[in-house]
Structure 1
Amino acid sequence: MRLKKSVKIVLGIIIVALLAGIVAILVLSQRVRMNPDGTVGNTAGNLNNDGRFCEYDGTVYFLNSFPGGGLFAMNPDETDFRRLNSLETRNILAGGSYLYYYHTGISYEDAGFSGALGMRTFQRCRLNGSNATSLTTKVVVTGQLVNNYLYFLTADNDKVSFSKMKIDNSDEVKLADYQINPACAENGIIYYNGTQGNHFLYALDTATDAPREIWRGNLWNPVLEGDYVYYMDVANDYRLCRYSRSQDVIQVLADERIECFNVGGGYVYYQTNGQDAALKCIGTDGSNPTVIAEGIYHNINMTSRYVYFQEFQDDTTIYHSPLGSSGYEVFQAAKDAAAQD
């Protein structure tokens, strides 16, 4: 009798221990892992162009906007396509164990591009697309991941708000009630152009959330590359320039009005305006100007090997071109991947 009672006690202890272990595993699996120092979610150039592509740790995450598409992953050489979900996404960020993106409320599932409408939300998911969690239902104009915080510019009717939120959806703090674009970030610092009475270059130290003036230029959409700040020159009809921080010198790269640009891999891609509108490419020093495509294009996104862009008023077809190449074509492999079940 005592033996049976002892066996029952031992079994009870084992069951309790197993249950405790299962609960601990579940709790740990749901705990959001923090990021290493220096984490930045995407490049400024990509985010200023709708953030449709994001390269991280040997993988490119992107919005496959062809019919039947959604959020996809692939290798930088455009092989091994994987569907992560069927959502139309923007502002894709990656860092540590997670992806972050703004879901516009449209799903490509079952009905192509005109899929069912749902709630717009900014989401966090694992790198394989699983465990998606809504972080905010506010309309995100642009956002950036810096270390363990997401910095958002959100819009509510005619009001904008600049805030930060920890990646585990805690510690949300409003930082400003005016426009701050957090796209350009490096080493824990967000660089942005002023919008309150001037267009100077400012730096926001994310350790203290304290801003400071960097340079009294007249710029828009700054992008940092080494010593240089690439930008649109507001005072001179939005021509393309770069500013050397060490030498305090401005260099004009394209003396014509531009609509958007991106920098990476030793190249600058930009869209000109006017009668001879075209997508062009130059070296980061302004050398070797090349016309890539005549007409009006936007959503210029870059990875380590390709530039991707779309024709104005056609946000379905994706074109691509190897960096430095003068030719381009439809991104057929993505179109074929989108069509697969």
Structure 2
Amino acid sequence: MKKYIKLLILLFVICIAGFVAYHYLNTKVKFNSTYVNGNLSGNLYNAGLFCESNGEIFFSNPNDNGRLYAMNVDGSNVHKLCNDSVMYINADKNFIYYVRNNTNNITSTMFFAYDKNSLCRIKRTGGKAFILDKEPCIYASLIGNYIYYLHYDTKTATTLYRVKIDGTEKKQVYNHYLFTCNASGQYFYYNNPDNGQLFRYDTASQTQSLFYDCNCYKPVVMDENNIFYMDVDQNNAIVHVNVNNPNPVVLTEGNIEHFNVYGSKIFYQRGGDDAALCMVKDDGTGFKELAKGEYSSINVTSQYVYFTDFSSNKVYYTSISNPGDIKPFN
């Protein structure tokens, strides 16, 4: 009888040890060895609904209430990863990071309707999400092993925060609002909300410096030399400048509402009475009107441009290499 009890105790200990080991291996966070950036700058400015990473595209599925899905780059092998409605998607080789957008995604099966706009991490294969910040968050951007994002609480309103990808070291970086979308290596670039000057923030030293003197909005810095931005002094026309030879070139007319850059092409929404989704090359040539009407959330991948009809919320796409044939994203 005593031997039987000892055997049961031994089996119980082995089971507990196995469970602990399994839980540890499945929850252990693998850190990045470089300053990996989680998504394209233009995508994050446009709500980060699509994110291409290591041969996969993670996206907010408009046909399933914005829930997190994955697919191959060519659009095949579509599958759901979790039931969260998502935006500001970032990814590295191990995880996906996103902001929940569950405000309008509450079902009768949810016992508690909390953490509706929290910052989350999930495995690339899906599963249960780990909450990095339970407070309302927006504009999340992965830089190395930290997420920089805008955090809201009732005491300080909207301020710039960062948190390590394992959920530790959460802290306020600035006590005001800054876009962190334009990340490049260890840096992110942002327009000063007071005067539009372009600043660069070094996440390694946690210092900032003036990068280019202009009055810009939502700048996109490519290869640390070429800057694309909406010029506030020119009614938000898109301007290109190379910091090594500062000679700003106006690429579009004014009244631009959103834009995204991929390779040598710029996709943008023209506002006003003649509203349309348009494209122009980065030297100002090759203008093309793609679709009449108001569109938002212009996201790009290596093969397609995705955009949302403002009135119907339907998502459409067209080819990056030969834009113009507009199709509904189903």
Q: TM-score, normalised by structure 1?
A: 0.87
Q: Helix, strand or coil for the counterpart of 1:80?
A: coil
C-alpha separation in 1, matches of 2:263 and 2:74: 15
C-alpha separation in 2, matches of 1:133 and 1:308: 28
1:183-238 deviation line (CA, Å, top 9, x unaligned): 0011110111111x321111111012111111111111011223311110011111
> Is the Cα–Cα contact under 8 Å of residues 68 and 86 in structure 1 kept in the other structure?
no
> Is the Cα–Cα contact under 8 Å of residues 142 and 154 in structure 1 kept in the other structure?
no
Aligned to 1:58: 55
Matches within 5 A, 1:1-341: 20=17, 22-67=19-64, 70-106=67-103, 119-156=116-153, 159-195=157-193, 197-226=194-223, 227-315=225-313, 317-323=314-320, 324-331=322-329, 334=330
Displacement, 1:15? Answer: 7.9
Displacement, 1:102? Answer: 1.1
Q: TM-score, normalised by structure 2?
A: 0.89
1:308-327 deviation line (CA, Å, top 9, x unaligned): 00111332x11000013222
> Is the Cα–Cα contact under 8 Å of residues 232 and 241 in structure 1 kept in the other structure?
yes
C-alpha separation in 2, matches of 1:56 and 1:107: 28
C-alpha separation in 1, matches of 2:30 and 2:144: 12
Change (3 A) 1:18 1:156: closer
Identical aligned residues as a percent: 30
In the alignment of these two chains, the number of paired residues is 322
Query: Which ranges in structure 1 are unaligned for 5 or more consecutive residues?
Result: 335-341
Change (3 A) 1:19 1:68: closer
Q: Helix, strand or coil for the counterpart of 1:86?
A: strand
Change (3 A) 1:238 1:107: closer
Displacement, 1:165? Answer: 0.5
C-alpha separation in 1, matches of 2:106 and 2:170: 33
Change (3 A) 1:31 1:322: same
What amino acid sits opposite 2:247 in the alignment?
Answer: V
Displacement, 1:266? Answer: 2.5
1:154-181 deviation line (CA, Å, top 9, x unaligned): 2346822101100111001211111111
Question: Which shows bigger deviation, 118-127 or 233-242?
Answer: 118-127
Displacement, 1:81? Answer: 0.5
Displacement, 1:144? Answer: 0.4
What amino acid sits opposite 1:31 in the alignment?
Answer: K
What amino acid sits opposite 2:95 in the alignment?
Answer: Y
Displacement, 1:107? Answer: 6.5
For CA contacts below 8 A with separation 6 or more, give which structure has more relative contact order: 1
Displacement, 1:16? Answer: 5.7
Question: Which shows bigger deviation, 230-239 or 155-164?
Answer: 155-164
What amino acid sits opposite 1:183 in the alignment?
Answer: C
Displacement, 1:12? Answer: 8.2
C-alpha separation in 2, matches of 1:102 and 1:68: 14
C-alpha separation in 1, matches of 2:179 and 2:118: 19
Q: CA RMSD in A?
A: 2.6
